[in-house]
Structure 1
Amino acid sequence: MKITIAYLPEEQEEAAADLVALRQLHPRLKVHKSDAHPPFKHIYLTIPKPGMPTDTWKST
C-alpha cells in the first residue's frame, strides 16, 4: 500500500501527528519526505504486503 500526504509548511504539525498515528498502526512503514514541489511538502509512505519478510522487501 502506498500513501501520499501533501501539506503546506504551516500544516507541518498536523502532518507529523498523522505520521505518528500511521506508524502506530503499521510499524513496518517506510517513509520518504520531499520538498520538490513548492510550496507543498510531501510525505510518501509505503507499507509492505502482509506476510512479506522485511529483509527481502525492496522499496519501489
Structure 2
Amino acid sequence: MSRCFPFPPPGYEKKARIDNVDLLKKVYILFLYSLYILFDLSFFGDAIMKFILSWIALNVHLNGC
C-alpha cells in the first residue's frame, strides 16, 4: 500500500495475522471459561461476576468474534 493515499489500491486485501482464526476463537473462549471457573472456585466469586463472564463467553461463541 502506498503511503501517499489514505486508501488501499484496487485488489488489495488485508491478510489475517494468524491463518487459523478458528483456533484463535477457541483459545479466547477457553480463556473466558477459565476465568469463569477461577471466579467460581475463588473467594471473590460473586454471582454478578460469574454472570458477566458467562454472558461474554456466550456472546463470543454465538457471534464468532
**TM-score normalised according to structure 1 size:** 0.32
Task: Say which one has the larger Rg.
Answer: 2
The structure richer in helix per residue is: 2
Which structure has more relative contact order (CA 8 Å, sep 6+)? It is 1
